[in-house]
Amino acid sequence: MQDTGQMIKQYFIASDFDQTLSFNDSGVVLSELAGIPARVFERKVAVLSVQNLVQQGGELTYLLLHDPEYRTHVRKEHLVQAGKEVRLKKNIKKLSDLLGSAIEGYRFDLHVISASPQEVIESALDGIIPPDHIHGTQLIYDSSGHVESVVRVNAGYGKVAVLDDLQNKFQTGPERIIYMGDGSSDIHVMLHVNRRDGFTIAVSQARKIAPIAKRTVLSDDALSVLVPILEEIVGWDTPRIRAFFEAQGLVIQEWDRVRADWLTIAPNVPQQLAPAEAAPSERTSNAIN
């Protein structure tokens, strides 16, 4: 409970959805629900990635709008149902509640910014995150429920644009912004937040994202992101963080700090010199003979 007479520090937290608050790629769930095998979706996404035709994270929207198989099989009702079938991480609702009022002197307002369709995220987080705190890709449907056009795709740099709009709306200083994500589609927004003295959290050890984020935390529980926030933003030490969790009826059973290095080791095979690259002494000797 916050002391109403105390000055409260307001922070804005933006989170990705797919594999940040969930374990699934919503595109895979949606594809299988519409009768399209996951391997087909993954193959199509891989082709788009090689072509650099869309920003990373925007592949599903492109398929919904342009791919004949997806235009034929996927309707709005499938997006809503896909959200209900997405497997979420534990304690997202509790995370939102604790961030909002349980940390003395601080208030953290949690929003979701994602390239996933708005309908998928709202359905998945129904009763957990308010719809006006969810900022997914906005689609327009025809009378039969098929995707007709796109209003806005929140992928790649599109997340930066959404975050800037929300910052202006809520009049939040850039140093009071926290972003958490898991993959390549979060690179632009993490670099943007870091450059302006905000705070970034990676929830995976993906090679492209972990070195950019200021902290990385791995867990199947959404509450895990509280640890770097309480340490780096609020300034609490380990005993106080453990006591906070215990006061909420929770226990941190395992807390391992690991530094990860990615190495590729290859055998050191000396390359044979070409005739033109022979040592000077060899060239002189050959000339004399």
Give the span between the Cα atoms of 236 and 229, in whole angstroms.
9
**Of 260 and 146, which is predicted with more confidence?**
146
Q: How confident is the model at residue 283 (pLDDT cuts 50, 70, 90)?
A: very low
Question: What pLDDT does residue 274 have?
Answer: 54
Give how far Cα 283 sits from Cα of 270, 271, 277, 278, 280, Å: 20, 19, 9, 7, 5
* Helix (H) or strand (E) segment spanning residue 148: strand 147-152
For the chain, percent of residues with pLDDT exceeding 70:
88
Beta bridge partners of 110: 13
Question: What pLDDT does residue 271 have?
Answer: 63
| Mean per-residue pLDDT, 247-269 | 76
**For 120-159, how does the pLDDT look when each residue is reduced to its tens digit (9 = 90+)?**
999 999 999 999 999 999 999 999 999 999 999 999 999 9
Question: CA dihedral defined by 180, 181, 187, 193, rounded to 10 degrees?
Answer: -10
CATH of 9-247, one of 3.30.1490.480, 3.40.50.1000, 3.30.9.10, 3.40.190.80: 3.40.50.1000
**For 226-241, how does the pLDDT look when each residue is reduced to its tens digit (9 = 90+)?**
999 999 999 999 999 9
| Mean per-residue pLDDT, 11-16 | 98
**For 154-204, how does the pLDDT look when each residue is reduced to its tens digit (9 = 90+)?**
999 999 999 999 999 999 999 999 999 998 899 999 999 999 999 999 999
Q: How confident is the model at residue 266 (pLDDT cuts 50, 70, 90)?
A: low
Largest interatomic CA distance in the chain: 97
**Of 289 and 147, which is predicted with more confidence?**
147
Q: How confident is the model at residue 256 (pLDDT cuts 50, 70, 90)?
A: confident
Question: What pLDDT does residue 265 have?
Answer: 61
With beta carbons less than 8 A apart as the criterion, state whether 151 and 139 touch: yes
**For 44-53, how does the pLDDT look when each residue is reduced to its tens digit (9 = 90+)?**
999 999 998 8
Question: What pLDDT does residue 229 have?
Answer: 97
Q: Where are the domains of the chain?
A: 9-247
